[in-house]
Structure 1
């Protein structure tokens, strides 16, 4: 006869053991009331926070329950559940022109083998991360916070800056963009309230309105060529204007949320309908809004440096590190994780190239199934950061791009790590998406000035 451990939800040191052949919710609750001498106990939780109904029986492979007086579940995350025999995730990689590192493919296969993962798709910009691949989309029964990563809400937004001046000197432009790596001196709380962010965090005053490190950037650009004239016209994109691309995220806030999720497990799994998932999604949603507010504030700071009126017109914005509900062909609701991937179900998306290369605005095509409703989020790294330190060209050559634009970066290491050779060809990445029939080009933009900063706390896992 199996032994079941009853654990008090508010005090995990208070335990009792019962032996039974029929571990129903009603039986376990009755035993808990007797063992703990409390008629106020009312709820039986399985590990992970799923309520065990009074008429339900505890699965044979589980031997612990948490007993509550009505408060939310306070136990450990769900155990990783094994797949049914023959239930294997679909694994696809969309890349023929683009080089994909073997380590990235291996990481994608490892992620696909995680319990609950149904689909894993690598984009043309797929490359290895420290633990999980970057440039992929995953569909799972529940949520893996570590697959979303530390920079929750990292994304990119395209703004219209102004009419294109008849004469524009990139050097003079660079000199006007000062102080953008310093904390914003405005009313942080008031700005965040405009985005329904009411929760105060330690990152608000120091990080809001700043780009961050890694591959985050702010880029002033102009339209070089228009391929899909009707879509460009619908978005009011013109060769007569200059634009701003801002790539940034939730800075240290996302990292702190992931750290709390991984304090007891390096890759926790939050099953659907669990209290743990609801709690995570509440924090996740707040980080998304914070990231959106951050990009808009970066754009406003740049506009003010240039003497332009605010707020700027935002043309498109997408998240790259996100999780959203999606309904499969079987009608079951699951969770779509994007780890360095843009959505293909939200309209046009920017696909930035390396500095000194074109960036493309893409229009999604197809029904989204083959590409897990996602697109590449950029060129994707070709060489890891460490490799870029093996050769060090003159600093001056890194501050001017092949397009004649200027680069502002105070961190010499970041300047090396983000140079164009570190990245794949965006032409190959976009070409792979076109060949797969999942996207088409709208227009290309080239950078006139690009700013990177050296605060490395926002680099995603």
Structure 2
């Protein structure tokens, strides 16, 4: 056998009596493609398109097989039906953790539940809780909280500390013209011309990265956004008053994260294993948490800078329109009222079956924490958003809440591609987005209704809706020379 190859067993997922030994080139840049080509030829099935590792973890085209992997399962796209044991890097003789989905009114895709159950079978996992916004992800479900005796960096994903913050902008003007506000939001996708090093240092980030200059202070793509909004309805005046939310104020929601920094951290930790597991007390866990916390601070600083840049763009545009403007008005850092994370891992005490309270690591993959106070729950760009007050002891919901409405259709769904939606929503708000593909992927119909998500959390005793926010202008991306 050539020294630069190693044997692996390719197993047909739908009929596991069919197997083939393949000498896989160790240093090949496209192992995924080589395995599928070999499988299609050996099994005479041209439609084979997906590869699983033991336990059902997908093996992705950009990944390299861990040296401990000896078997792979190939499928035509059907779910994994192999032996229900974790893959190398996630092995362990443990019972499947508790699985629960907090949803009655919200639609939950069965594929998301299947992914959640697969996660519950990973080593050290004691609970896998789906929120009402649960929906399928590429490898793991989004909208869930996973409690484990150890840390899985891949569960947190590439955008460490993606989160949402609420800022106070100004008093509500007597005349509010969304299109005028939208026209002022320019240059926000360009690198900030200020001192990024000083900005980060002031916010507790004392190291530099290649992402500081080009990315700090930018929203990013996907479902990230910045949204100017006002209060539509207050349900709990006392709590709203405590956090500084009132009916005569213009607010800003900023939903973004650590940009490319978080992705680089995950890539470094999954270079040799697509889903590494770091048990408690391991040096790898300590190293990852240190890098995770660095990305957390960076993401907070990023949201703050996005808010500052938007306030700078607006100048006096939010003041009463008396026919004059002062573009030289001094920008002011908006007052931050709330900042919560959606992708992170933190230490908590959780009741684990009949074993009582235990210290566990709670991974939030698209979920808001309950220990940071009121949490925003944004709807789609054509829907209201809510502010949620956590309630209860946190055991049923793993100290977590929904982080938004959650996707109803995947980005590739044909049903979304009937046309490119307009920039004015059904609520009369304006959407700034010059990327037509992103407009299609993020159209309101792609998401669940946020009201059902809030209702489900209230019914389970996890949270109370204290205020509803109406969007005025939503910023996604503005390329001055838009794509055709």
User: If the TM-score is normalised by the length of the shorter chain, which range does it land in?
Assistant: 0.7 to 0.9
User: Are the equivalent residues in 2 in contact too, given 1:213–1:454 (CA < 8 A)?
Assistant: no
| Alpha carbons of structure 1 residues 172 and 102: separation in structure 2 relative to 1, 3 Å | same
Q: Find 2:386's aligned residue among 340, 360, 379.
A: 360
Alignment pair present for 1:157 and 2:183: no
Q: Where in structure 1 do 4 or more consecutive aligned residues deviate above 4 Å?
A: none
Q: Find 1:326's aligned residue among 348, 355, 362.
A: 348
Separation in 1 of the partners of 2:416 and 2:247? Answer: 40
User: Are the equivalent residues in 2 in contact too, given 1:389–1:416 (CA < 8 A)?
Assistant: no
SS of residue in 1 equivalent to 2:164 = strand
Separation in 1 of the partners of 2:117 and 2:436? Answer: 35
User: Are the equivalent residues in 2 in contact too, given 1:107–1:128 (CA < 8 A)?
Assistant: yes
| Alpha carbons of structure 1 residues 323 and 423: separation in structure 2 relative to 1, 3 Å | same
| Alpha carbons of structure 1 residues 388 and 252: separation in structure 2 relative to 1, 3 Å | farther
Separation in 2 of the partners of 1:291 and 1:109? Answer: 30
Residue matched to 1:311: 333
Residue matched to 2:377: 351
* C-alpha distance after superposition, 1:247-304 (max 9, x if no partner): 0000000000000010000000011111111111111110000000000000000001
Structure 1: where are the runs of 5+ without partners? 1-77, 456-461
SS of residue in 2 equivalent to 1:398 = coil
Alignment pair present for 1:198 and 2:184: no
The within-5 A match list for 1:377-416 is 377-387=403-413, 391-393=417-419, 395=420, 397-416=421-440
* C-alpha distance after superposition, 1:372-424 (max 9, x if no partner): 0000000000000011575332x4x4200111111101211001100000000
Separation in 2 of the partners of 1:181 and 1:402? Answer: 26
Q: Find 1:446's aligned residue among 470, 475, 478.
A: 470
Separation in 2 of the partners of 1:275 and 1:135? Answer: 29
User: Are the equivalent residues in 2 in contact too, given 1:353–1:378 (CA < 8 A)?
Assistant: yes
Separation in 2 of the partners of 1:428 and 1:283? Answer: 36
> Shift in Å at residue 218 of structure 1?
0.2
CA RMSD of aligned residues (A): 1.4
Q: Find 2:295's aligned residue among 280, 287, 295.
A: 287
* C-alpha distance after superposition, 1:90-127 (max 9, x if no partner): 00000110000010000000000001000000000000
Alignment pair present for 1:136 and 2:160: no
| Alpha carbons of structure 1 residues 218 and 354: separation in structure 2 relative to 1, 3 Å | same
Residue matched to 1:80: 90
Residue matched to 2:455: 431
Q: What is the TM-score normalised by the length of structure 1?
A: 0.79
> Shift in Å at residue 306 of structure 1?
1.0
| Alpha carbons of structure 1 residues 388 and 291: separation in structure 2 relative to 1, 3 Å | farther
Separation in 2 of the partners of 1:253 and 1:149? Answer: 12
Separation in 2 of the partners of 1:414 and 1:427? Answer: 24
Separation in 2 of the partners of 1:388 and 1:355? Answer: 20
Separation in 2 of the partners of 1:316 and 1:444? Answer: 15
Separation in 2 of the partners of 1:419 and 1:172? Answer: 22
The number of equivalent residue pairs is: 374
Alignment pair present for 1:232 and 2:254: no
* C-alpha distance after superposition, 1:191-242 (max 9, x if no partner): 1111121221111111000000000000000000111111111122111100
User: Are the equivalent residues in 2 in contact too, given 1:398–1:419 (CA < 8 A)?
Assistant: no
Greater C-alpha radius of gyration: 1
Structure 2: where are the runs of 5+ without partners? 1-87, 317-330, 480-484
* C-alpha distance after superposition, 1:118-161 (max 9, x if no partner): 00000000000000000000100000000000000000000000
Alignment pair present for 1:418 and 2:442: yes
Residue matched to 1:12: none
Separation in 1 of the partners of 2:414 and 2:239? Answer: 38
Separation in 2 of the partners of 1:138 and 1:105? Answer: 13
User: Are the equivalent residues in 1 in contact too, given 2:394–2:462 (CA < 8 A)?
Assistant: yes
Separation in 2 of the partners of 1:219 and 1:390? Answer: 22
SS of residue in 2 equivalent to 1:326 = strand
Separation in 2 of the partners of 1:138 and 1:223? Answer: 33
User: Are the equivalent residues in 2 in contact too, given 1:208–1:294 (CA < 8 A)?
Assistant: yes
Residue matched to 2:23: none
* C-alpha distance after superposition, 1:36-87 (max 9, x if no partner): xxxxxxxxxxxxxxxxxxxxxxxxxxxxxxxxxxxxxxxxxx9534234xx3
> Shift in Å at residue 88 of structure 1?
3.0
User: Are the equivalent residues in 2 in contact too, given 1:389–1:417 (CA < 8 A)?
Assistant: no
SS of residue in 2 equivalent to 1:332 = strand
Q: Find 1:301's aligned residue among 299, 309, 331.
A: 309
